Amino acid sequence: MIQSILETIGNTPLITIPNTNKANEGQVLLKYERFNPGGSIKDRPAIYIIQEAERRGWLKPGGTIIESSSGNFGISLAMIGAAKGYRVIILADPKTTSANLALLKGFGAEVIVVTEQDDSGSYHKTRIALANKLAKEIEYAYRPDQCFNMLNSEAHFKSTAREILDACSGNIAAFITAVSTGGQLGGISSYMKTYAPDVRIIGVDAAGSTIFGGQAKPYRIPGIGLSWTPVNLHLSDIDSAYQITDQQAFLAARAFARHEGILMGPSSGACALVALKIAQELAPGERVVCMVSDGGERYIQTLFNEEWMTEQEFATVSDTEEIRAMARQLQPWSLCPTDEANYRPDLIQSLDVPETTLSINAEMSNRAVHR
Ligand SMILES: Cc1ncc(COP(=O)(O)O)c(C=O)c1O
């Protein structure tokens, strides 16, 4: 018998997409993170960071968890808070969907919607700065700090990456995932470069995000992108990066629901499109593993709402041949991501990153838990 919902985090399946992926090319395997109890991959770093904070005495019974998140990480923390009895405060923004706000509140979290944009036109910096301020003001508060805390990528190094390599018995030609805090891509790339260095590592970002350099502009893909390169990501572990447009991401996610019966959000649509592109270049028997970070229900009012799609002036239908052609036309944004590094150590001070994060990161650099 399972004693707590939290024990069901992880061990998600790898799923093929036979209606879109042809037999005469490489095989796409989707790592389907919707099967986590909070509905996304973020359950993994959330439980890992909370358990570590409990172990270190930073989070005690009666404590409050405060985090900046436009969606999935906040929902995971809200679920964990409900299961363990912590108060949870989430700093969201106007891009947070009403479905996500409802889920956060359903798990009992208090939600503050930050409306002030930062200098890049997104809300990341204003959300983080306010979360850090509140964490100082509220007694017995703990800030998991997904954006700067390197335990985020360590969670994936220790669970997600090992699961993937074990499930494929080491037979993987390429690995693809989307980037925001860099937790997934950072942790998994680091693991692959250590234990399976031949795996090609590909990061997927939103066109308009500047994680891999470029000019900042607004974009609509939720959960992806940042206006700097996150500390959780070692660009030297990344072989190439793609930037995907809103329309490409949304159309691809809709196509995988329609033609494969697989619900996924727009960030995963973007990744699966890149995975198809890579598979088209691989031989039968070679595999590309692609993270599907969450499911589609979270985007019922956007991705799966015909009126919203029309308002965005996105097309509404795409058959598998159109999706395959769209994939074929993709070109890498960067073949040497280290050249595009946009790390911002100054943010540690200007956003007032918590002491708990700084001490973890210093410890991790010293013990070199992962490279
Ligand atoms: C749906 C979705 N995809 C991708 C990502 C990117 O993951 P990471 O923050 O580990 O880089 C996120 C992060 O919030 C997300 O919610």
pLDDT digits (tens, 9 = 90+) for 80-136: 999 999 999 999 998 888 899 999 999 999 999 999 998 888 898 999 999 999 999
Ligand 1 in contact with 266 (CB < 6 A)? no
Q: What local confidence, expressed as pLDDT, does residue 318 receive?
A: 76
Report the relative pairing of strands 14-16 and 174-178 from DSSP bridges: unpaired
Which tens digit of pLDDT belongs to each residue from 264-309? 999 999 999 999 999 999 999 999 999 999 999 999 999 999 999 9
Q: Which two tokens stand for residue 343?
A: 């790390």
Ligand 1, atom 9: nearest CA belongs to which residue? 181
Q: Which of 42, 84, 193, 277 is catalytic?
A: 42
The CA-based angle 155-187-368, given to 5 degrees, is 90
**Cβ–Cβ < 8 Å for 289, 31:** yes
State the distance from the centre of ligand 1 to the C-alpha of 1, rounded, in angstroms: 31
The answer to whether residue 354 scores a pLDDT higher than 80 is: yes
pLDDT of residue 369: 52
Higher per-residue pLDDT: 370 or 230: 230
State the burial class of residue 94 (Cβ atoms within 10 Å of its Cβ: 0-12, 13-18, 19+).
exposed
Residue 8: band (very low, low, confident or very high) from pLDDT cuts 50, 70, 90:
very high
pTM of the model: 0.96
Can 158 be counted among the known catalytic residues? no
CA distance 63 to 86: 6
pLDDT, residue 120, reads: 80
Strands 64-68, 141-142: pairing is: parallel
Hey, what are 231's tokens?
Answer: 């500390």
Q: Whose CA is nearest to atom 15 of ligand 1?
A: 223
Ligand 1 close to Cβ of residue 269 (< 6 A): no
User: Residue 203: CB within 6 Å of ligand 1?
Assistant: no
Q: What is the pLDDT of residues 331-340, one digit of tens each?
A: 999 999 999 8
With tokens 């809300």, the residue in question is: 123
pLDDT confidence of residue 74: 98
